[in-house]
Structure 1
Amino acid sequence: MTKATRLLTALPPPQRGRLMELAREVSFPEDTRIFEAGGAADRFWIVRSGAVSLVQQVTPLRRVTVASLGAGDLLGWSWLFPPYRWDFGAEAFSPVRAYEFEAQPVLRLCEEEPALGLSLVRIVAEILAHRLEMTRGRLMEQYGSHRHGAL
């Protein structure tokens, strides 16, 4: 399995610099719900330190962690695609420091600089493909262990 792509290190330095001009530093205490599934996706984060859990509500009383993110990881991609709603929820598993980006200024920058926009979309697509591969692997492991236990 390939190593996850890091958005900031994958962008060429001049593009990274222009994107970082739009960043602001934020922090989330442990156990903070950063966003909820179905909410308006109007920003994204690059985790600087700490851990974030992506969660899915499977019943009214049960939330399942579908992925864990750490330093360098992209948190949030739904801001890039209509209908601009979060597909999962996110919670700070530990104290988290991150760079926060509002979607609208980033989207305007992408329109003004199409090369940066194309780079950003390609990198986000690579990140999503990696996460899909990881999720597929977890499902295969889970299915295999349940199937093996049934024999």
Structure 2
Amino acid sequence: MTTTTMSAALEPVYRERLMRLPHEVSFEAGSRLFEEGRRADRFWIVRTGTVALDLHVPGRRPALVETLGPGELVGWSWHFRPYLWHLGAEALSPVRAWEFDAGTVRAVCAAEPEFGRAVAVWVGRVVAQRLHASRVRLLDLYAPYGSGDPT
């Protein structure tokens, strides 16, 4: 598990608080969860299956940025204004996930500052990790010598 999975990033008390809020959903392989530039009003934590994050590249197929699996957060744009997706996401296999309403989670974060801080730190770690993954992937695809990153 990476340090950005919910179980690794949130203390048990905050994880338990967050897990009072979702409902279960499923996606068939090939289903789009969201599209870059559209309204980010929810997010997911993967229970089973794999989700691909992709980046729109004009004139080309979307660039695969990263794949996410069990315990990982799908979507962080819901946490920052203007609440628009920065990437796209597609189920690579059948996916079961917990779905959270972004407005509800933001309201709980505002009402419970310690919980809100824990969620913000977790989401911030995810953003930093995804930014790095996007940079490495784009360099691998389009730079003359790739990213130079052996990972």
Residue deviations 1:11-56 (CA, integer Å, cap 9, x gap): 2222211111111111000000111111110000001111111112
Partner of 1:56 in structure 2? 55
Paired amino acid for 1:145: Y
SS at match of 2:43: strand
TM-score, normalised relative to structure 2? 0.86
Q: Percent identity?
A: 46
Partner of 1:145 in structure 2? 145
Larger Rg: 1
Partner of 2:98 in structure 1? 99
In the alignment, the residues of structure 1 paired with residue 21 and residue 62 of structure 2 have an alpha-carbon distance, to the nearest angstrom, of 33
Residue deviations 1:87-125 (CA, integer Å, cap 9, x gap): 111110110011100011101110111000001101111
2:114 equivalent to 1:115? yes
Residue deviations 1:64-97 (CA, integer Å, cap 9, x gap): 2111111111100111101111111111011001
SS at match of 1:83: coil
Superposed displacement of residue 138, structure 1: 3.4
Contact 1:7/1:124 (<8 A) preserved: no
Gaps of 5+ in 1: none
Q: How does 1:2-151 map to 2 (within 5 A)?
A: 3-59=2-58, 62-142=61-141, 143=143, 145=145
* Alignment: residue pair count: 147
SS at match of 1:58: coil
In the alignment, the residues of structure 2 paired with residue 4 and residue 15 of structure 1 have an alpha-carbon distance, to the nearest angstrom, of 16
Superposed displacement of residue 59, structure 1: 3.0
Q: 1:141 to 1:62 in 2, by over 3 A?
A: closer
Contact 1:78/1:86 (<8 A) preserved: yes
